[in-house]
Amino acid sequence: MLDKLFSKRTTPLLGLDIGTRYVKAVLLSKSGDRFKLEAYACEPISGNAFADREIKDFDAVSNAIRKAKLSLKKKCKNAAIAISGTSVITKMVFMDPDQSDHELESQIEVEADSLIPYPLDEVYLDFEELGDSKSHAGKVDVLLSAAHKDIVDGRVTLMRELELEPKVVDVEVYSLGTALMQFAEESTVCCISIGGSQLQFTAVEDNKVIYSKEHNFGLDSLVRDLALVYGMEPAEVEKQLLANTLPEGWRQQNWPIFLANLQQQMTRALQMYVTSTGRERPQQLLLAGGGAAISGIAADLEQELSMDVVVFNPFAQMQVSDQINQESLQQVAPQLAIAAGLASRSFESWHI
């Protein structure tokens, strides 16, 4: 009783995943080691608000975030957001152990100058020591992250205009990794998130992200084809695609071509993982993102890839608020993986 009375109260962070098609928001609480889903939202972004993962229509994104905030029906001022794209760079560097953050920072800047294709005054740098290196004896692995200031500043300004304070700015593939480490049942996991324009591959092992990569392929090609076939707006096509309410015939006519292309891209992603890490091809693959919500996709890919394919539900072992409709949550759960990873940052420390 006394430990609860005097324990430090954690201020929850709203996990806000701003994708190219949807804004996803997750709010978690935690008691002991047990997480609870307090609220979630998934709101479409109208039109084509992005170009190469950069926001071009801030009004459209702002409206979607505003709707998500209203849908949550919970007050939360602080947020954790994530970025991705070609102007976001992560590299593993190897440093001498037992250095202070200040000493590491000085060395990181020297390393970054040679690794990052932008002037250092145009980027934000961050780093995290991950522990003893398995590949470089006597060194520690340090994850270096860099992002162009324009990308970060644009999103921070957007958040503040909506009366949200971005306390954490993460990288999407690492937010997915956080979700896997917190909410997946196995300690070693490979996951591919199928988004509108990207496949995001993340592998975790022993509470570390050991590999991550983004590939330029996503649901957009299938949505565009179906929009032409049915004479519908892409947003409506995507809504019906994920709800499994499209007119009959698309699975026979359009799905096989997309599935073959998806399988080819995923096989390539898996091969790059094996080559880069020296590890064996995984026996099981988790699916996240909007694509994972398509009915039957796991079974179809399982047959194409000749491996176990499982849809990742970050809330499967979690307590869920009584105010949340379980059936609706099941439909969108794989889309909320990155947002769930961001929301879990409420309960851990981060660099200021």
Extract the tokens encoding 78.
């602080």
**Token match 């890839």: residue?**
305
Asked whether the beta carbons of 58 and 158 are under 8 A apart, the reply is yes
Helical segments of 133-208, H only: 149-161, 172-183
Q: How far is residue 318 from each of residues 93, 107, 185, 221, measured CA to CA in Å? A: 35, 41, 12, 34
* Torsion sign over Cα 324, 288, 263, 265: positive
Q: How far is residue 342 from each of residues 91, 170, 174, 339, measured CA to CA in Å? A: 21, 8, 9, 5
CA atoms within 13 A on the CB side of 206: 5
More confident residue, 24 or 2: 24
In tens, the pLDDT along 219-238 reads 999 999 999 999 999 889 99
Report the alpha-carbon distance of residue 16 to residue 19 in Å, rounded.
Answer: 9
**Token match 């990742």: residue?**
312
* Torsion sign over Cα 97, 100, 106, 111: positive
pLDDT value at residue 2: 36
Q: Which helix (H) or strand (E) holds 168?
A: strand 165-171
- Give the pairing of strands 140-148 and 123-132: antiparallel
Q: What percent of the chain has pLDDT over 70?
A: 96
Extract the tokens encoding 64.
């979607």
Q: Name the nearest CA neighbour of 168 among 314, 13, 27, 289.
A: 13
> What are the CB-based long-range contacts (under 8 Å, 24+) for 132-141?
132/97, 133/94, 135/94, 136/94, 138/96, 138/97, 139/94, 139/95, 139/96, 139/97, 140/94, 140/95, 140/96, 140/97, 141/92, 141/93, 141/94
pLDDT value at residue 211: 92
pLDDT value at residue 349: 66
**Average pLDDT in the 241-252 region?**
92
Question: In whole angstroms, how large is the CA radius of gyration of the chain?
Answer: 20
Q: Is the pTM of this model over 0.85?
A: yes
Does residue 23 register a pLDDT over 50? yes
In tens, the pLDDT along 313-351 reads 999 999 999 999 999 999 999 999 999 999 999 887 654
pLDDT value at residue 226: 96
In tens, the pLDDT along 94-151 reads 888 888 878 888 887 887 778 788 888 898 888 888 888 877 888 888 888 888 899 9
Q: What structural domains does the chain harbor?
A: 185-311 (3.30.420.40)
Buried/exposed code over 82-109 (b: 16+ C-beta within 10 A; e: otherwise): bbbbebbbbeebebeeeeeeeebeeebe
DSSP 102-138: HHHHHHHHHHHHHH-SS-GGGEEEEEEEEEE-SSSTT
* Torsion sign over Cα 322, 76, 88, 127: negative
In tens, the pLDDT along 190-222 reads 999 999 989 999 999 988 899 999 999 999 999
Report the alpha-carbon distance of residue 147 to residue 156 in Å, rounded.
Answer: 13
**Average pLDDT in the 284-309 region?**
96
**Token match 């071009």: residue?**
56
